[in-house]
Amino acid sequence: MIAEKRLYTLPYFQVILGAMLTMTGVSMQFHFGEFVSSIGHDVDTLGWIVGVGFVGSFLLRPHIGHWIDSLGCRPCFIAGALGAAAANFLFQFTENIWLISGLRMAMCAFNALYLTTVAVYAAHAAPPERRAESLGTVGIGGFMGMMIGPVMGDMVFADSGGTHSFALFFNIVAGCSLVAGIVIANIPANFDNRAHADRPSIFSLVCNHWPGWILVVSVAFSACLTIQMAFLERFADARSFKDISGFFLVYAPTAIAIRLLLRTVPQRYGRRRVCTVGLFLMAAGVFLIIPVRTNWQLALPAFLMGAGHSFVFPSMVDLVATAMPVRHRGLGTSVALAAMDVGFCAGGIVWGQLIDWKGFTVTFAAAGLFTASCAAWFYLSTALKRRASTP
């Protein structure tokens, strides 16, 4: 379905750049807690806004896959970029929690459209045996954005948390999304745009081609990510250090290095083993955030969580997507990311409420225990299934 036979082409690198710009804006929003706090709300409200926001992307997932499969990548890239830019730009004009929640839903939905298209493009760009490698490589752009965004956020709020800073903050985030649309506007229409005779719903596709309990990994993975995406900045504020950029300056380079140096590990050792190891690393990282009192102490948790993220995501998405027919690979990728939306939504609400009731220590311990338990359960269930299928 991709015209070029080579994986690393100019359009492929344009997609990496678009992913970097989109994730720069997404990771700047890791400072969203400062905005919520400035309008007089606590961390439990932040958790609800973050959780409800991912309902937007979850509701759009069943349609995203069909749009990509039938229209191709370019229209979906452009629509996602423009929609996210508009939603981010409008945050600065309201302090109403309901409107903020609605904008957050729109932002998550359009970012989901863009980033799902990135993942589908990467899957189709590669031969079957290199799909996990391709997904991992294109994810490097996302990790670069994750490294840049928090630094930019720290710079915006370095001197002032007033109205002017939030206007500048949201304008920069919107600008990142807008430029992400521009850089991929001229990529070739790589997909066969013929409408498929069968257009199953995402639910019937899952029922007919059940990918297995890898979906539990998707939920646990994203619920764990919610800790750093929504609550790390509030944790740092509570421990009297505001700068969280150091975490991501370790997290992202670690993930990038592993993607580059160990990109063939899923093919050599198996994607399920890689997912299990990655989840355990992320759980260990969350546990090690608990005793942190200064910015530099975030380095070890960041290293472990960056490594875990790098291991889990490409193999997890590939396991779900390859369970689906090739002609519905876009919809299959949406299944994996929809499961992640469930984890983001649950993580935002549950961790936010738990922080409000019991504090950061209990919440991070619970998050680490949940992630490690899911990793152990997935490993054991996979091992038992493999043993049962062995003659």
CA 275/CA 316 separation, integer angstroms: 7
**Cβ neighbours, 10 Å, residue 62:** 17
CA 162/CA 125 separation, integer angstroms: 45
Question: Minimal CA–CA distance to 331: which of 205, 207, 221?
Answer: 205
Query: Of the ranges 9-18, 117-126, 281-290, 309-318, which one carries the lowest mean pLDDT score?
Result: 117-126
CA 134 centroid distance within chain = 17
Looking at residue 197, what is its pLDDT? 44
Per the rule left: phi > 0, alpha: psi between -120 and 50, beta: everything else, 156 is alpha
CB 24 within 8 A of CB 152: yes
CB 219 within 8 A of CB 341: no
CA 294/CA 101 separation, integer angstroms: 32
Task: State the residue for tokens 């981010």.
Answer: 88
The residues near 7 (Cβ < 8 Å, ≥ 6 apart) are 125, 126, 127, 130, 134
Looking at residue 165, what is its pLDDT? 85
Which is more confidently placed, 183 or 241?
A: 183
Select, from the ranges 136-150, 267-281, 283-297, the one with the highest average predicted confidence (pLDDT).
Answer: 283-297
The residues near 38 (Cβ < 8 Å, ≥ 6 apart) are 161, 166
The residues near 294 (Cβ < 8 Å, ≥ 6 apart) are 239, 241
CA 82/CA 67 separation, integer angstroms: 16
Mean pLDDT, residues 109-138 taken together: 80
Question: Minimal CA–CA distance to 2: which of 112, 86, 125?
Answer: 125
Question: Is the pLDDT at 189 greater than 70, yes or no?
Answer: no
CATH number belonging to domain 10-189+201-386 = 1.20.1250.20
CA 43/CA 235 separation, integer angstroms: 10
CA 364/CA 215 separation, integer angstroms: 22
CB 191 within 8 A of CB 1: yes
Question: Minimal CA–CA distance to 308: which of 372, 381, 380?
Answer: 372
- The packing angle between helices 131-156 and 10-28, to 10°, is 40
CA 311/CA 263 separation, integer angstroms: 9
Task: State the residue for tokens 């080579």.
Answer: 6
- The packing angle between helices 131-156 and 245-261, to 10°, is 160
CA 248/CA 299 separation, integer angstroms: 9
Query: Of the ranges 141-145, 237-241, 383-387, which one carries the lowest mean pLDDT score?
Result: 383-387
CA 313/CA 290 separation, integer angstroms: 24
Looking at residue 199, what is its pLDDT? 60
CB 133 within 8 A of CB 9: no
Which is more confidently placed, 210 or 120?
A: 120
Query: Angle at Cα 101 formed by Cα 92 and Cα 217, nearest 5°?
Result: 120
Q: Give percent of the chain above pLDDT 90.
A: 45
Q: Tell me, what DSSP letter sits at residue 188? A: -
Q: State whether the Cα torsion 18-339-65-4 is positive or negative.
A: positive
pTM for the full predicted model: 0.82
> In 3-state terms, what secondary structure has residue 388?
helix
Query: What are the tens digits of pLDDT across the range 299-329?
Result: 999 999 999 998 998 888 878 877 777 666 6
Looking at residue 347, what is its pLDDT? 94
Looking at residue 223, what is its pLDDT? 95
